[in-house]
Amino acid sequence: MTNPSVAIIDYGMGNIRSVLNAFEEVGAAGVLVDNPENLGSFEKAILPGVGAFKEAMENLDESGMTAALNTYVSKGNQLLGVCLGMQLICLDSEEDGFHEGLGYLNAHVVPLPREAGLKVPHMGWNAIEFRCEHAVFSDVESGSDVYFVHSYRVKCEDESDVLATSNYGVPFDSIVASGNVLGMQFHPEKSQGVGLQLLRNFISLK
């Protein structure tokens, strides 16, 4: 049996090398995809990202990747947004103004609170607390620590889309899903064994 292939969408905003290494570690062939025409040949894709929401959406739009992603998701293929990628799948973001997102998740991106002496960005290890049962949690325990780097948080309108939450001053949605689209606010590729298991589970989702 050949290793499953996963499209890693390269739009100029991702920590691509560590994502590639993580998929290699879990026995999947991560394939960089920067040509929108190539996305349709994959059944699973990951949208990574580090940086600003507005610039990321501009890159996706100008490259034609937004249209390709819309078609890809509409066909039922599975997409995982990571960190900024999770924020991009939302309706909109308040980062540096108001900007529309891809709109696959009925959610908004809002700032993390800066009161109570909390440092922003939220950087480091924090627990994920499961809110429901889901196949992506196979062999992962609720309360496991994962690695975060973010200044904004996702706020889902539909509680049923929230798979796990974390807390940094306020509770925030750290794993979300709507149909065939998932999001992880943290970096699974930097979260050691827990993160790698979550990626294995994503690969195995039916």
Task: Say what the pLDDT of residue 14 is.
Answer: 73
Say which residues have a Cβ less than 8 Å from residue 93's Cβ, sequence separation at least 6.
Answer: 53, 54, 87, 99, 101, 108, 109, 152
189 belongs to the catalytic site? yes
Using the 8-state DSSP alphabet, how is residue 18 labeled?
H
pLDDT score for 126: 98
Set 90, 95, 99, 189: catalytic member = 189
Spell out, as residue ranges, where the chain has pLDDT lower than 50: 1-2
* 99 neighbors 57 (Cβ within 8 angstroms): yes
pLDDT of residue 116: 66
- Mark whether 132 is an active-site residue: no
* Domains along the chain with CATH numbers: 5-204 (3.40.50.880)
Residue entry with tokens 């891809």: 102
pLDDT at 187: 97
Catalytic site residue from 108, 122, 150, 187: 187
157 is catalytic: no
Distance (Å, whole) CA 99 – CA 93: 5
**Predicted model pTM:** 0.95
Q: State the catalytic residue, choosing from 83, 99, 108, 156.
A: 83
